[in-house]
Structure 1
Amino acid sequence: MRAAMSHKFSRDYELGTQEWQANPIISGQFYGNPSISTVVRAGEVVTSARAMDEPTMKKLWTYNTQFPVEASTSYGSTSKKRQQEHPEDWAGHSFRMLLQLLYIVSMLCLLRYDEALRITWQDVRFEKLENGVLRIRLDLPFRKTHQNGGIAPFYLYANPDRPWMCPVKAFAIMWQLAVVNEGTPSGYIFRKKVGRNGWSMNAGDGMSTDSFMEYFRNNLLDIEIDPRPYGTHSFRRGGCQYLAMVLRWPFRNICSWGGWAENFDNPGTLFKYLLSWTDTPLLEREDYLNPNRTVGDVCPACNRSCHCS
């Protein structure tokens, strides 16, 4: 709500994005954006959704990819008796691959849920470079921060060392499934679920936000994780933390990649994505200075597994 107010004052009333403050020269006069003020910001402590992390992404990928593959996409419904006896049967392998692609793209591209759900096959381009490397070019049709165009494309590359974070493989799997079901894929990639393991053949029948959250939470229950702390911004926040703490990107690169604060005038926004009390602790307190604590995963680039790499 505050973001909508800030946008209204900034664009329609042309008050900009400067913080609301008193004029030091003329008494009783103020300037700036009223919703960007110390009083408004202090009015409520915002609790962010828990960030998605790489270990959870790996668990989801392992569970979904190992789910039994069916001969064809099933559009039949599941009986209530079977739902009670097999709660994991809420979706089949094909639909889980659709969700897996949604998870990966949302996390790597730092997307809001509504931005990710609007992606169409026309926005995706498979490119092969001169050296034979395959990559995905993703041109988003809409972004909250760029409502008048000028959206920079996302270039996504294969990551064989982390298949649970590999967008090229996820897109390839989904493309093959779409070709089998539709012929030449078009329209929304993430469609309304039909039956147990199918999706709508209507190109404009996109998945709703509420449906996405229901499937995401069901998927977390599959791997025995409490879904209650997670929300629609979990992948956006998790992607920010993944780029910063796992891939060790500089903060400036994260802001540029995600389309945040081009003039870097609000570093608090990035900090809220990087740290929250709702996030899962990365380390037990007793191990902070423990020289004998368990080493991390080996980096495929430098072959180091120490915590300072």
Structure 2
Amino acid sequence: MTGLAKTKAKAGEVSMSARALELRDMHLLYNHCMRPGQTDGELRWGITTYLFAWLLLLRFEEATRLQFESINLIPGTRDHFEVRLKTRKTSQTGMHTWVLHANDSDPKICPIRALIRLARVYGDRVGFAGPLFLKVNKYGAVLQEPITTGIMGRILAEDLQNIGNLAWALYGTHSFRRGGCQHRIKNKGWTVDMVAAWGGWTQVEAITMFRYFYSPNDNHEHMADYDRNDMKKPWAF
């Protein structure tokens, strides 16, 4: 299957599992995971694994490789923490480091709140070493097994269907990375070079990075309003 995928890519066929998860999707996933009656195991999804992948522009396999040792809580600091990933697909040597800050204006995507919720789910049942994201059954029991890419993909597909996303089959391993890129550009006002540095892209990978900013599979329902938005600007002639 891997060989077939590579052959299709070389032939110019674009993977259909490449739709971006937008800010509103992250809010809907949060609401779904935080609805009344959820168990600890169910609450963990969408609050930690989803959010960290989206904020850090990670692929599924990179998110599942995060370790407790990847989190650096700085003594005396409560408004931010560091996340370190030793190796990435785009950089097999060295370490990539991010600094995530509290987000009081949008608590649903606040990484510090997400980390606190994860700690509450684990309680004293883990030694806070090894894989950061562990399997948690529906009864809230923490299993000493890391979450796999396959499990993450399956749960995401189920959650997207549960929130009424009819295009759930278009989402895949790069959806968080793609959506996180677009969020930084559209909602945060970042420049392309800022996103490139945050995501760990090199100049050689500029074309690859552009594919994360735009895909025919992404939502373009509001395209009719694109030009209309310019009418709101106080242009001077």
State the TM-score, normalized to the length of structure 2. Answer: 0.85
Change (3 A) 1:229 1:55: same
Match of 1:161 in 2: 105
Match of 2:226 in 1: 288
Give the letter for the 2:12 counterpart. Answer: E
1:104-119 alignment, distance < 5 Å? 104-119=51-66
In structure 2, runs of 5+ residues without a counterpart are: none
1:154 deviation in Å? Answer: 0.9
Residue of 129, 134, 141 corresponding to 1:198:
141
What is the rounded CA distance, in whole Å, between the counterparts of 1:42 and 1:124 in structure 2? 37
Change (3 A) 1:139 1:307: farther
Question: Are 1:53 and 1:238, in contact at CA under 8 Å, matched by a contact in 2?
Answer: yes
What is the rounded CA distance, in whole Å, between the counterparts of 2:233 and 2:113 in structure 1? 29
Alpha-carbon displacement from aligned partner over 1:22-50 (angstroms, at most 9, x marks no partner): xxxxxxxxxxxxxxxxxx97622323511
Change (3 A) 1:218 1:162: same
Q: Is the counterpart of residue 181 in structure 1 residue 125 in structure 2?
A: yes
What secondary structure sits across from 2:85 in the alignment? coil
What secondary structure sits across from 2:112 in the alignment? helix
Change (3 A) 1:41 1:172: closer
1:157 deviation in Å? Answer: 0.4
Residue of 178, 185, 196 corresponding to 1:244:
185
Give the letter for the 1:96 counterpart. Answer: L
Change (3 A) 1:284 1:176: same
Greater share of residues in helix: 2
Give the letter for the 2:197 counterpart. Answer: S
Q: How many residues align?
A: 230
1:220 deviation in Å? Answer: 1.1
Residue of 194, 214, 224 corresponding to 2:154:
214
1:97 deviation in Å? Answer: 2.1
1:284 deviation in Å? Answer: 4.1
Q: Is the counterpart of residue 134 in structure 1 residue 74 in structure 2?
A: no
Q: Percent identity?
A: 25
What is the rounded CA distance, in whole Å, between the counterparts of 1:282 and 1:160 in structure 2? 29
Match of 1:47 in 2: 15
- The CA RMSD over aligned residues, in Å, is 2.8
Give the letter for the 1:97 counterpart. Answer: R
Give the letter for the 2:116 counterpart. Answer: A
What secondary structure sits across from 1:173 in the alignment? helix
What secondary structure sits across from 1:186 in the alignment? coil
Alpha-carbon displacement from aligned partner over 1:93-133 (angstroms, at most 9, x marks no partner): 4433244211111111111111110111111122255xx55
State the TM-score, normalized to the length of structure 1. Answer: 0.66
Higher RCO, 1 or 2 (CA under 8 Å, sep at least 6)? 2
1:17-96 alignment, distance < 5 Å? 43-48=11-16, 49-68=18-37, 92-96=39-43
